[in-house]
Structure formats: structure tokens, C-alpha cells
Structure 1
Amino acid sequence: MDVFPLPLARIGIIGGGQLGRMMAKAAKRLGCTCVVLDPTPGSPASQVAGHQIIGDYHDPAKLRELAELCDVTTFDIEDIDTETLLQLEREGHRFHPSPKVLALIQDKLTQKQALADAGISTAPFVAMPEPSPEAFAEFGYPLVQKARRGGYDGRGVSIMKSAEDYRAHLPVPSLLERFVPAAKELAVVVARGLDGECRCYPVVEMCFRPGENVLEMLLAPADVSQATADAAIELAVRTVEMLDGVGIFGVEMFLTESGELLVNEVAPRTHNSGHHTIEANVTDQFEQHLRAVVGLPLGITDQLSPAAMINLLGAPGHRGRPTIKGLNEALAIPGVCLHLYGKAATSPYRKMGHVTVLDPDIESAKRKAKRVRDLIEISGEDHP
């Protein structure tokens, strides 16, 4: 019989945002402690973990301090100095997913090249080191330009339907992708353990907010055929196995009108498309990630109830200390589960929380989620 000392492990989390916060909550349940590295004092994750190193994700001394305090280190963001992590790994410190995987995924171009080299279906693309109207025209419209580095939540992405849209291009090293007119955008959250075992969550559908490219509503499970769901899971597992990653990975996909599945992007961390699992699945993505990186058996991923999830975004035109209205009416709706992230300031379209709605009928869950979206507004006392 296994005998573990308590705490089970001290886990370092690089990044103190909402993903780290939900991970720290799961860590407490599992008998682990956490140390958070984040530049913002009182970050959302540190409010739960209780121990924060205040420092930048690119500060070698702070990254070393974290690694030396912890048994294993993970992250809730991707914009990290991987050279320092690789050096610390060579010295014997444990990181999951590995810094090598993070370095590959950080750069959207090397990520796409790795997918293509592994024979994983993805939209046609070219490198665009120096954007120019001629190069864009030669590739052909409609297209999607993605910054190689630093893009997330719709930032670092520009969708261009025609040459007139070139004025909205990103003046940075990037790649161009063929625009895919998707019937649906899907995601599969995959967990991979230290022993290589993979467990997937049921396929979900992502509905994005036009203009901001921020996830607005998620439906779980996705309304797709069993054959499409099986193919999506097989493709997601192949993608994570190609990366040789350990932990949770969010694999985003396009389902084309003709029924083809194309991998869009991979996130080497817990993911917005798995937030509903906290209430809707036997093992949530945050606990599963910790099980994987600590080396515990992976939990089952069965879904207990259909669910719709919406992000609570900062209202446009508002900044400052958050205020929330519509809360009483929203919480009176049966099946509503509220998560606020403890962020000290709101700004337009900033993720301030999320709501998961459970209902035996997915259409009813969707209607309730839309009602919650209309009711709740997070604005700022100091606006604008």
C-alpha cells in the first residue's frame, strides 16, 4: 500500500490568474500546497494559495526561487522565459509540461510546423517575417494573420476578408493561415500522465464573440455525431502524444462544412474550454492536471450533466474597481454556478469570472446561460 507524506507535494504555479486560482483550489483538495509567481501583489491565485513570490515571468532569479521551493512547477500562462526553465530542468528541477513543449507552443509558427510535420490536419499556412500588402495578396484572401508570440484571448490575431483589411494587419513577425469557414469550432481537453496514459473530456463546442475573438459561450457536450466526436478525440490524443506533453492540454479545432477536422491551436495548460468540468464532470480539469504533473492516477472524465458555460467579461467603456449588477436574479436561476476570479480591476472584455449552467437538457442550459449573460454586468467604479 502506498504511504504519502502530507502535504503530498508543493506545486509551483507560474502565473497568478484565474487558471492558477482554480488550480490552487484543486490542490488544497488533493492535499498539496502551492506557491504562485506573479508580478501583481494579491493575484487571484495567491488569494487561494496563500504564498506568492512577486516577480516577472521572465526574471531568472524569481523563476529559480520558485523552482527551488517546489517539488514540481507548472504554469497557467505561456509567456514565460523558457531558457531559464530549460536550465533549471537540466539542474534537476521538475517542470510539467516540459519547458521544451512550452517553447515549441509559445511560437505559433513552430507550433504549426510541428503539427504539419506530424501529419496532423491544420489550415494551410506560411511564415510572414515581414508583413507587406504584396505578400498578403500573394497568399490570398480571406486569411488569418497570427502573431508568432504573445497572442491570447483574441489578441495577436487579425482576420482579413479582403485587401482593404490590410490596414488592420499586425506589424510583427507572424504567420498567415487560410481562413477556414467552420461549421463549428470544437475543443477537446486532453490529460496525459507521466506514464503516457491519456484521458479526454467529451468534445465541446465553442461560440466566440464576434470582433473580440473571445470565447462567449461553451456547450458541453458538443452537438456533433458520434463519429465526429470520436475523430476529434483521436486527433486531440495524437496531437498531445506528438508533443510528448504531461498535464492538461486544450486542443482547439475547426469542423468544416464538409465534416473535416483541422487543429487550430494547442494550449499547454488548463483551458477555458474545460471550466465547466468543475461542476459537470467527475474529475475536473484542474484536479486532473495536478494528478498528471504529480504522478497520481488520472481520474475518470465522465460528464454528469449537460452544461453551458459563459465568460463574464468586463463591460466596454469601464475600468477600475469592479462592481457587479444582476447577481441576485442570475443566482435565482436553477443550475447556475458562479465563479468570480478576485481581480482587483476591471477593463473592457477582461475575463472577470465565468458561469456554468447545469441542466438535463442542453438547450435549456443554453437559454439559461444567455439569460445570465443578459443579467450580469461587471463594470468599474472609476469608469471610464
Structure 2
Amino acid sequence: MNYFSSDFKLGILGGGQLGKMLLYETRKYDIYTCVMDPSEEAPCRIACNEFYTGDLMDYDKVYEFGKKVDVLTFEIENVNVDALEKLEREGIKVYPSPATLRTIQNKAKQKLFYVDHNIPTAPFTRFAYTNEIHTALNNNSIDFPFVWKSAQFGYDGKGVKVIRTYSDLDDLPNVECITEELVPFKNELAVIVSRNTKGEVVTYPVVEMEFHPTANQVEYVICPARIDPVVTEKAQLVALKVSESFQHTGLLAVEMFQTKNDDILVNEVAPRPHNSGHFSIEASYTNQFEQHLRSILGLPLGHTDSKVGGIMVNLTGEEGHTGKVVYQHIEGIMKMEGVTPHIYGKKETRPFRKMGHVTIVNRDIDRAREIAEEVKNTIKVVAAKNI
């Protein structure tokens, strides 16, 4: 099939920043795109060929949208899988597959998948409702501390909480959930695996992630990870095993813990371009968004090595700021060596909302990390009314 400057249509469910960055690549190759998102002000609106407003969990909306395109992909997991399955049965190519998405959408199912496929992961317990955790604690079947995770609809630190006392359970939603043993770890790592429609597979270098202590969001992604080569190899092999088990098409971001004993445990996965791969836009021979396109269209996979060391800094809304966004001191970071800001196009900021990211490239990864700290301390995402 001819994808370039042709009648071919690529559909993208979700019009946020990941879709917007994917559209950089479709425009480069002149691939016709259709996007659907619930918000009329979605970042993707300015860059796609056709834009539709619709609830991604609405069966009819997703089905009707999917019938307009030749290949359908998504930039967010919270989409109606029943509609995707019907589209697939009717001949629309959906990547990653609805079967893959159905497992990944639910963290309890995802954890059971790891157990069934002998993939190392933290011990866990599954609950139909959060209030059942009190009974489990009283019966000593689980112990403090542990991590509570909502089975569905968690993202960007939402739906996850470390529980150390009974009071930490207060105000949690009474939903299907899991509890995980709190893993003592040295590092949080990630590997992005790309698999195309022909079954060809490549991996990106292992990255190291540093998280905000209260928001549970990634603050820094460091590539390459500053870890022993033996651990690097372990992480790559585990990521490949996860990819092989899912038999996905497209990108699969595998998030992992490096334990105190240098074991690798899988935390969770995302079947799409991912925050842990944004460094690749400036630092890699083939960025993750182009690679996703290559994968789902069955094209040759690109070279995944880094040209230079790369660090990503997330730009999130400052606490206490809600309203029309201002990127304060952005000129200051643009003067710094190897610094590139990416602004997502969200007009309204709120505390911890992802509003953009900054990449820092440098041949010396330690120097890049120093510059990243300067960036984080300089630029502030604030509301105009609070200035």
C-alpha cells in the first residue's frame, strides 16, 4: 500500500501531546491523518487533516470514526475496546491489537498476564473493591507498607498511592484495585520496544527515570541509564520477553524496577509512544514517534542508537496555579547549551498537569543532568492571573 501523498488514511484516537508529536512525523511523510478527541481544543487539532470531537469510551463514536480510516492507532489506553474489536473483525487494521489493549487497560489483568508468562513482577493482591483491603489487613494477608493502584483509568500518577497506615486508605475510591508489595529499589528504568507488522523487533537504550516525590510523575528521563552493563542487559532481555509475550504491533514502553539485588521487576507497560521516550526526538537516530509509524505501517524499523546523551525534563503546572498558562523564564532556558523546549498546546494550566517537556543533549550525560537541573529550577509553568 502507498501511504505517502495518497488516499490512505491513518486514524488516531486521542488528540493530546503524544498525538501532536506523532503528527510531526505524519506531516514529514505526507500521511493523511484523522484524529478524534473529547476536547475541541485538543493539541492535535492544528496539525491533522480531519478532526472529530467524541468520547473515546463511547462505542458508537469510536466505531464510526474507525470506519473512516484504513489503519487505526491510539495515543491513550482509555478507549472503547469493544468497538475496536468489531472494527478489527470488519477488516480495519488496529494497532496495537484490541486484545493487547484489553489486557493492559486493567492493571489486575496486566499483573496476572505477567504471572502467566513468567515475567518477573512485584508480588500483588487483587481486590474487587478498595474497602476489602481493611479485611485483608485485619487477617494479616497483606501488611503495611504497600502500593495501592486502581485497576483502571489511572495515569500520570493518578490512581496510585503508597499506603503506610490505615489513614492513608481514607478518601480512596472504592473501585477494583490491586495492592503491591513496596519494592526496595535502586532505580526505576524503562525500555521501549518496537515491533512492526512483520514481526521485526528493535529496542531503544535503557533509560533511568527520576520521579517527583509527591505527584508520582516522572521529572527526569536519563538516556543512557547510569547503571552497570550487566543490569542493562537484564533490563533489555526482560523488555524483549514482555514484548514477545504480548506479540504487540507498535511501541511498547516497559517500566521496570532495579532492586537492591539488581533483579529486574516489571512495573507496568504502555502500548504507545511514552514519556520515557521523548528524549529520542533530539537524541536518537530515529525518534519514538517515527518508529511507531514505521511499526504500524510495516515499514523498515529505524536505527535506535543515540547520537548523543539525552535527558528529558517534564514541564508540569506549578502547585497553586490554575488558569491561562504562562511559561515563565522560557527565554532563560533557551540560552542554555543543548536545550530544546516542547510546548504541548494546552491553554489552561493546573497543578501537575503535563504542559510540555524540555530535552537536553550533551556528549557528557553528567553535564546534561546538571543542565537539566538548571532548566527545572528556571522555567515555571504558571497561571497568568497569579503573576
Shift of 1:11: 1.1
Q: Where does residue 287 of structure 1 map in the other structure?
A: 290
Contact 2:4-2:31 within 8 A present in 1 as well: no
Number of matched residues? 383
State the secondary structure of the residue aligned to 1:151.
Answer: coil
Contact 2:195-2:249 within 8 A present in 1 as well: yes
Query: Which of the numbers 226, 248, 270 marks the counterpart of 1:223?
Result: 226
Q: Deviations over 1:252-297 (max 9, x none)?
A: 0000010100000010111000000011000000000010101111
How far apart, CA to CA, are the structure 2 residues paired with 1:34 and 1:382?
A: 37
Shift of 1:171: 2.1
Contact 2:67-2:87 within 8 A present in 1 as well: no
Contact 2:349-2:355 within 8 A present in 1 as well: yes
Query: Which of the numbers 298, 301, 307 marks the counterpart of 1:298?
Result: 301
Instruction: Please tell me the residue identity of whatever aligns with 2:260.
Output: E
State the secondary structure of the residue aligned to 2:67.
Answer: helix
Extract unaligned runs of 5+ from structure 1: none
CA change 1:331–1:34 in 2 (3 A) is same
How far apart, CA to CA, are the structure 2 residues paired with 1:8 and 1:306?
A: 39
State the secondary structure of the residue aligned to 1:334.
Answer: coil
How far apart, CA to CA, are the structure 2 residues paired with 1:185 and 1:9?
A: 40
How far apart, CA to CA, are the structure 1 residues paired with 2:164 and 2:49?
A: 48
How far apart, CA to CA, are the structure 1 residues paired with 2:317 and 2:166?
A: 32
Q: Where does residue 73 of structure 2 map in the other structure?
A: 74
Shift of 1:381: 2.4
Shift of 1:5: 5.5
Instruction: Please tell me the residue identity of whatever aligns with 2:120.
Output: S
Report which stretch shifted further, 42-51 or 205-214: 42-51
How far apart, CA to CA, are the structure 2 residues paired with 1:3 and 1:369?
A: 42
Report which stretch shifted further, 108-117 or 316-325: 316-325
Contact 1:145-1:169 within 8 A present in 2 as well: no
1:261-340 paired onto structure 2 within 5 Å: 261-340=264-343
Query: Which of the numbers 158, 165, 170 marks the counterpart of 1:155?
Result: 158
Shift of 1:9: 3.7
Contact 2:210-2:219 within 8 A present in 1 as well: yes
Q: Where does residue 41 of structure 1 map in the other structure?
A: 40
Q: Where does residue 30 of structure 2 map in the other structure?
A: 31
Report which stretch shifted further, 27-36 or 254-263: 27-36
How far apart, CA to CA, are the structure 2 residues paired with 1:134 and 1:309?
A: 42
Q: Where does residue 355 of structure 1 map in the other structure?
A: 358
How far apart, CA to CA, are the structure 2 residues paired with 1:5 and 1:312?
A: 34
Instruction: Please tell me the residue identity of whatever aligns with 1:70.
Output: V
Extract unaligned runs of 5+ from structure 2: none
Q: Where does residue 344 of structure 2 map in the other structure?
A: 341
CA change 1:331–1:8 in 2 (3 A) is farther
How far apart, CA to CA, are the structure 1 residues paired with 2:8 and 2:301?
A: 16
Q: Where does residue 134 of structure 1 map in the other structure?
A: 135
How far apart, CA to CA, are the structure 1 residues paired with 2:363 and 2:164?
A: 40
1:204-219 paired onto structure 2 within 5 Å: 204-219=207-222
How far apart, CA to CA, are the structure 1 residues paired with 2:337 and 2:19?
A: 28
How far apart, CA to CA, are the structure 1 residues paired with 2:227 and 2:107?
A: 28
Shift of 1:162: 3.5
CA change 1:16–1:133 in 2 (3 A) is same
State the secondary structure of the residue aligned to 1:304.
Answer: coil
Instruction: Please tell me the residue identity of whatever aligns with 1:236.
Output: A
Instruction: Please tell me the residue identity of whatever aligns with 2:65.
Output: L
State the secondary structure of the residue aligned to 1:69.
Answer: coil
Shift of 1:378: 1.1
Root mean square deviation, CA, Å: 1.6
Contact 1:158-1:168 within 8 A present in 2 as well: no
Q: Where does residue 90 of structure 1 map in the other structure?
A: 89
Query: Which of the numbers 163, 170, 176 marks the counterpart of 1:173?
Result: 176
State the secondary structure of the residue aligned to 1:115.
Answer: helix
Shift of 1:328: 1.1
State the secondary structure of the residue aligned to 1:159.
Answer: strand
Q: Deviations over 1:201-259 (max 9, x none)?
A: 00000000001100001110001111111111111011011011000111000000101
State the secondary structure of the residue aligned to 2:348.
Answer: coil
Query: Which of the numbers 205, 210, 224 marks the counterpart of 1:202?
Result: 205
CA change 1:202–1:8 in 2 (3 A) is farther
Matched, 1:187 2:190: yes
Q: Where does residue 111 of structure 2 map in the other structure?
A: 112
CA change 1:4–1:143 in 2 (3 A) is closer
Contact 2:3-2:31 within 8 A present in 1 as well: no
State the secondary structure of the residue aligned to 1:105.
Answer: helix
Q: Deviations over 1:11-58 (max 9, x none)?
A: 111000000000011111123121110011131112221421111102
Shift of 1:170: 4.0
Contact 1:105-1:266 within 8 A present in 2 as well: yes
Q: Name the % identity.
A: 39
Shift of 1:64: 2.4
State the secondary structure of the residue aligned to 2:118.
Answer: coil
Shift of 1:158: 1.2
Contact 2:4-2:30 within 8 A present in 1 as well: no
State the secondary structure of the residue aligned to 2:47.
Answer: helix
* TM score, norm. by length of structure 1: 0.96
How far apart, CA to CA, are the structure 2 residues paired with 1:187 and 1:224?
A: 12
CA change 1:8–1:231 in 2 (3 A) is farther
Instruction: Please tell me the residue identity of whatever aligns with 1:69.
Output: K
Q: Deviations over 1:120-150 (max 9, x none)?
A: 0000011111333231453111111110100
Instruction: Please tell me the residue identity of whatever aligns with 1:58.
Output: M
Q: Deviations over 1:89-148 (max 9, x none)?
A: 111111000111111100000000001110000000111113332314531111111101
